[in-house]
């Protein structure tokens, strides 16, 4: 049974991936500073694990702290070795992801996202753990005009958040190139993860005002926010609203496990992988489907375009499909249904 360190394992994608890891017989060591999550949310993860199988609880452990704290990270690796169970791989989610905030406070983003990864790599190297999944983003493609974006598209981020993701990818490539017979690294470029665990016990839990569309729709539907603003209805798309590639968070979690297994089972390598469905959905379609599936109202108005938005961002996921034997299985209806269930459970 392999032991995996999950940085940011109490966050949105980290929590779903941690549950999936436990179900696939891994031991999970979470390190989380709770800057974008909470201890309460971690308890939710444990409750869900218990509900699935109480034995799973014995295989999950939490360290509260920041990955920029090298002593903390070293302590985690050392403790594992002392227990006779070294950490064999890392899934690295910990980081900041609000575009607008990154424009106001770029240093903070370089510190958390870049320095955080830098420290992690130093410690992984020291303890000879050289298998890493990095949580990257389609944001690295910037304003790509490609109909379907492949991994070979130009990397050209347009905001500090995107620059930190692209810089970490480059840094990791340098690390791999320095010892190509030792490192196994996959950078997973997520498109738009939404939805929640089908039990409704865990889901996206933003602190304060949501930045992304799905938690916004949820909070309008439940009455916490009066109405949704749709950013522009004059885009060059069929209904004038932007098109994105929404992917169910459970399909995304599965993509992480399969990527990890792919790295373990194959020769050392460095890969970038798009994780999306390859299907585009407009903002208006998303709102309409959410209303229909959940039988709720989501009042909205059209406002100006948001600075930095692009009309259409959809993945060519062919590479992930072929090498991982992975296929997203959940429809946009299921994403809306599961995401709303979580909002109702959470209140
Ligand atoms: C955004 C970021 C992206 C980041 C990702 C992380 C921007 C420009 N992009 O992606 O860099 O990797 O989040 O999660 O911030 N929308 C509305 N009203 C809203 C919110 C969003 O109409 O209140 C629209 C947006 O214009 C967009 C779509 O919904 O067309 C999705 O928006 P969002 O969830 O913020 O994701 P991205 O913009 O794709």
* Distance in Å, CA 243 to ligand 1 centroid: 10
pLDDT, tens digit, for every residue of 31-58? 999 998 888 899 999 999 999 999 999 9
**Cα 19 to Cα 126: distance, rounded to the nearest angstrom:** 28
Q: Whose CA is nearest to atom 36 of ligand 1?
A: 212
**Which atom belonging to ligand 1 lies closest to the Cα atom of 211?**
35
**Cα 225 to Cα 228: distance, rounded to the nearest angstrom:** 8
pLDDT, tens digit, for every residue of 130-147? 999 999 999 999 988 889
Residue carrying the six token digits 């790599």: 121
The dihedral built from the CA positions of residue 213, 216, 218 and 223, taken in this order, carries a sign that is negative
CB of 231 within 6 A of ligand 1: the answer is yes
Residue carrying the six token digits 């060059």: 236
Give Cβ neighbours of residue 250 (< 8 Å, ≥ 6 apart).
16, 20, 195, 197, 198, 330, 338
CB of 283 within 6 A of ligand 1: the answer is yes
pLDDT, tens digit, for every residue of 146-187? 899 999 999 999 999 999 999 999 999 999 999 999 999 999
pLDDT, tens digit, for every residue of 294-312? 999 999 999 999 988 899 9
The DSSP bridge partners found for residue 136 are 189
Q: Is 109 a catalytic residue?
A: no
**Cα 110 to Cα 125: distance, rounded to the nearest angstrom:** 21
Q: What values do phi and psi take at 185, rounded to 5?
A: -135, 135
- How would you label 158-190 residue by residue, b for 16+ Cβ within 10 Å and e otherwise? bbbbbbbbbbbbeebeebbeeeeeebbbbbbbb
For helices 332-346 and 283-294, give the axis angle rounded to 10 degrees. Answer: 60
* Distance in Å, CA 213 to ligand 1 centroid: 6
CB of 139 within 6 A of ligand 1: the answer is yes
CB of 172 within 6 A of ligand 1: the answer is no
């Amino acid at each position: 049974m392999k032991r995996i360190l999950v940085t940011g394992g109490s966050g949105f994608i980290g929590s779903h991936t941690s549950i999936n890891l436990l179900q696939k017989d891994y031991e999970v060591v979470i390190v989380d500073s709770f800057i974008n999550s909470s201890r309460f949310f971690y308890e939710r993860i444990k409750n869900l694990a218990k509900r699935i199988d109480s034995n799973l609880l014995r295989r999950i452990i939490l360290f509260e702290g920041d990955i920029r704290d090298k002593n903390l990270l070293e302590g985690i690796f050392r403790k594992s070795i002392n227990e006779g169970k070294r950490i064999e791989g890392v899934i690295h989610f910990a980081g900041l992801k609000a575009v607008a905030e990154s424009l106001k406070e770029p240093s903070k983003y370089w510190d958390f996202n870049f320095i955080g990864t830098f420290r992690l790599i130093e410690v992984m190297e020291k303890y000879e753990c050289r298998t890493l999944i990095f949580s990257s983003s389609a944001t690295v493609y910037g304003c790509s005009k490609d109909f379907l974006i492949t991994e070979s598209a130009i990397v050209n981020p347009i905001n500090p958040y995107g620059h930190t993701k692209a810089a970490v990818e480059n840094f990791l490539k340098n690390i791999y190139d320095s010892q190509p017979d030792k490192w196994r690294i996959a950078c997973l470029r997520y498109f738009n993860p939404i939805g929640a665990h089908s039990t409704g016990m865990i889901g996206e839990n933003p602190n304060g005002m949501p930045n992304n569309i799905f938690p916004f729709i949820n909070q309008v539907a439940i009455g916490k926010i009066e109405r949704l603003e749709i950013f522009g209805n004059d885009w060059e798309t069929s209904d004038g609203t932007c098109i994105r590639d929404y992917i169910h968070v459970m399909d995304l979690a599965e993509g992480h496990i399969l990527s990890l297994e792919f790295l373990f089972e194959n020769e050392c390598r460095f890969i970038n992988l798009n994780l999306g469905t390859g299907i585009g959905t407009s903002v208006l379609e998303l709102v309409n489907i959410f209303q229909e599936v959940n039988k709720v109202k989501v009042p909205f108005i059209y406002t100006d375009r948001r600075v930095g938005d692009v009309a259409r961002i959809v993945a060519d996921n062919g590479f992930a499909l072929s090498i991982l034997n992975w296929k997203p299985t959940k429809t946009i209806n299921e994403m809306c249904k599961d995401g709303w269930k979580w909002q109702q459970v959470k209140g």
